[in-house]
A and B are shown apart, each in its own frame.
Chain A
Amino acid sequence: MPLRTPLYDSHLAARAKMVDFSGWEMPIHYGSQIEEHHAVRRDAGMFDVSHMCALDLAGPDATRWLRHLLANDVAKLTTPGKALYSCMLDQDAGVIDDLIVYFFTPERYRIVVNAGTAAKDIAWMRGQLEGFDAGLIVRRRINGDAVAIIAAQGPDAKERRLTGSDSVAMIAVQGPRARERFWTAFPDSRAATEPLAVFQAAEWKDWMIARTGYTGEDGFEITIPADDAAQVWQKLLDAGVKPCGLGARDTLRLEAGMNLYGQDMDEDISPYEAGLKWTVDLKDPARDFIGKSALAARQPRNQFAGLLLLDRGVLRAHQKVVTPQGEGEITSGTFSPTLSQSIALARLPAGVAIGSEVEVEIRDKRLKARVVKPVFVRNGKPLI
């Protein structure tokens, strides 16, 4: 049986084309992926991201545990609601997952991890809780069941089954007019959320409203009780927010140069090889996070870059890139609706210069592409 989010019926009502995504039955588009893409670049669109997994962390050792678990350092979070993007590494410095962690107090955080990796992540985290006084609660609802249980360890160790109202749905509302349309739908939330800086969240009633996203546009990601999901979705529709599927989510994140776990990086790749060096925090020499020593020993063999196809065609994952310094590989590729040209993220041999021309093997041809910084579009504007 496929996994379904609390918004499954809302998708069918909006005439979504549903596909399998990591075992989840999710909307790929509601008619036209390109129109949905443009809606997010030009106005406002929304995505059901309830397949991603929210985890609540609490306990006296919460901060100490996260500083051990994550390659980025939560100690830099001091403003309540502030968010941090980080990789979670294994002992060999391979990426187990990338995630967002929201800080509320030094003893309370929320973590959001990817859908396809959630079970693996939870098992890993559970194993790492040993010796820390902190507990995790999974807040995801699957197929109408509030089966959100998880390990809580430490002196108050217990596992518990959540009631329906404890599990959450997540909706990303993205685009230049996303916040405005969100406030039209929920005017009472404005006072609490208008002052939010980028990458900051507010708790409002039993919602979390975060100024984060995965599209390169402004907007909110909201975490709400699963029971409210359909009603919230409808209010956003009424406020003129266009439903958008995973197809547009992929072209938007690719234009924004954001990595997709499982495609642009995985356990065989260190963050240094995935363009994520900026997320590894080595400032505190006393902090010993998992993977730190392996990372220091592991020399990156290649670099992460963007490609812009100069000939006609479409770049796709796993196509071979031929450069004077050796062969590389495309990790994600698509047709960019904003640039009307094909773009890709690629792992290239060290030494290939930004601005240089390379060749990509597509079927029986070699097509020309330019190496660029891996950010193609931000806030509606092409950067190429």
Chain B
Amino acid sequence: MTTPANLKYAASHEWAKAEADGTVTIGITDHAQEALGDIVFLELPAVGRVVKAGEECAVVESVKAASDIYSPVSGEVVDINQAAVDAPESVNADAYATWLFRIKPANAAQLVTELGGLLDAAAYDATL
């Protein structure tokens, strides 16, 4: 699967998408789902929780192991993907279409810095 050019990537294998409404959508990369194997359980952050960039805030469990997910940006969790919680295997099926949670950044300038610190598709691919 090609790594979408419209997303930004953390070295810890999360992707982030800056939405038109100012929120940021977070998921895990195709490489991450592939490495984890069959995903059977998602533990997503509570809506309303405030997280810092790099903070551990979700867990993806495959048959094999549990893996921590770090928020690539700072802000408040405003939404989680309940459909993914109900069908965790959808992350295996399409990791870029299956978002996990959405962050509303507290500070626009900080967001620019944080997104700027993430990798683009080519740079992320180069880490694999």
Interface status of A316 (Cβ within 8 A of chain B): yes
Give residues 56-94 of B contacting A (CB, 8 Å). Answer: 59, 61, 63-66
On whether the beta carbons of A335 and B40 are closer than 8 Å, the reply is yes
Extra inter-chain contacts (13) besides given A33-B63, A34-B63, A314-B41, CB under 8 Å:
A29-B37, A33-B38, A34-B40, A247-B64, A313-B61, A314-B40, A314-B61, A314-B66, A316-B66, A334-B63, A335-B41, A335-B61, A342-B41
Chain A residue with minimal CB distance to B41?
A: A314
Which of A34, A313, A316 is the one whose CB lies under 8 Å from B43?
A: A313
Chain B residue with minimal CB distance to A365?
A: B43
Beyond A314-B61, A363-B59, is A247–B40 a contact (Cβ under 8 Å)? no
Interface status of A154 (Cβ within 8 A of chain B): no
Interface status of A312 (Cβ within 8 A of chain B): yes
- B-to-A contact residues, CB < 8 Å: 37-38, 40-41, 43, 59, 61, 63-66
Q: Beta-carbon contacts of A309-330 to B below 8 Å, as 1s and 0s?
A: 0001110100000000000000
- In the bound assembly, the distance between CA atoms of A262 and B63 in angstroms comes to 19
Give 5 closest A-B pairs by Cβ, nearest first: A335-B40, A314-B61, A34-B38, A314-B41, A33-B63
Please name all residues of chain A whose beta carbon is closer than 8 Å to the beta carbon of B65 when the two chains form the complex: 316
Chain A residue with minimal CB distance to B65?
A: A316
Please name all residues of chain A whose beta carbon is closer than 8 Å to the beta carbon of B41 when the two chains form the complex: 312-314, 335, 342
Interface status of A167 (Cβ within 8 A of chain B): no
Which of A247, A312, A342, A363 is the one whose CB lies under 8 Å from B37?
A: A247
B81 → A minimal CB distance (Å) = 15
On whether the beta carbons of A33 and B61 are closer than 8 Å, the reply is no
B104 → A minimal CB distance (Å) = 24
Give residues 325-343 of A contacting B (CB, 8 Å). Answer: 334-335, 337, 342
Q: Beta-carbon contacts of A53-86 to B below 8 Å, as 1s and 0s?
A: 0000000000000000000000000000000000
Classify the secondary structure of A's interface with B: mixed
Chain A residue with minimal CB distance to B56?
A: A363
Please name all residues of chain B whose beta carbon is closer than 8 Å to the beta carbon of A314 when the two chains form the complex: 40-41, 61, 66
A51 → B minimal CB distance (Å) = 19
Please name all residues of chain B whose beta carbon is closer than 8 Å to the beta carbon of A34 when the two chains form the complex: 38, 40, 63
Please name all residues of chain B whose beta carbon is closer than 8 Å to the beta carbon of A335 when the two chains form the complex: 40-41, 61, 63
Interface status of A32 (Cβ within 8 A of chain B): yes
- In the bound assembly, the distance between CA atoms of A309 and B59 in angstroms comes to 17
Interface status of A251 (Cβ within 8 A of chain B): yes
- In the bound assembly, the distance between CA atoms of A334 and B38 in angstroms comes to 12
Chain A residue with minimal CB distance to B34?
A: A17
Please name all residues of chain A whose beta carbon is closer than 8 Å to the beta carbon of B61 when the two chains form the complex: 313-314, 335
Please name all residues of chain A whose beta carbon is closer than 8 Å to the beta carbon of B59 when the two chains form the complex: 363
**27 intermolecular pairs with C-beta atoms under 8 Å apart:** A28-B64, A32-B37, A32-B38, A33-B38, A33-B63, A33-B64, A34-B38, A34-B40, A34-B63, A247-B37, A247-B63, A247-B64, A251-B63, A313-B41, A313-B43, A313-B61, A314-B41, A314-B61, A316-B65, A316-B66, A334-B63, A335-B40, A335-B41, A335-B63, A337-B63, A342-B41, A363-B43
Chain B residue with minimal CB distance to A17?
A: B37
A15 → B minimal CB distance (Å) = 12
Chain B residue with minimal CB distance to A37?
A: B63
Identify the interface centre among B37, B59, B65: most chain A CB within 10 Å of its CB.
B37
- In the bound assembly, the distance between CA atoms of A316 and B64 in angstroms comes to 9
B66 → A minimal CB distance (Å) = 7
Please name all residues of chain B whose beta carbon is closer than 8 Å to the beta carbon of A316 when the two chains form the complex: 65-66
- In the bound assembly, the distance between CA atoms of A312 and B85 in angstroms comes to 10
On whether the beta carbons of B40 and A33 are closer than 8 Å, the reply is no
Please name all residues of chain B whose beta carbon is closer than 8 Å to the beta carbon of A247 when the two chains form the complex: 37, 63-64
- In the bound assembly, the distance between CA atoms of A316 and B65 in angstroms comes to 8
Give residues 168-212 of A contacting B (CB, 8 Å). Answer: none
- In the bound assembly, the distance between CA atoms of A334 and B43 in angstroms comes to 16
- In the bound assembly, the distance between CA atoms of A312 and B59 in angstroms comes to 13
Please name all residues of chain A whose beta carbon is closer than 8 Å to the beta carbon of B64 when the two chains form the complex: 28, 33, 247
Please name all residues of chain A whose beta carbon is closer than 8 Å to the beta carbon of B38 when the two chains form the complex: 32-34
- In the bound assembly, the distance between CA atoms of A189 and B43 in angstroms comes to 50
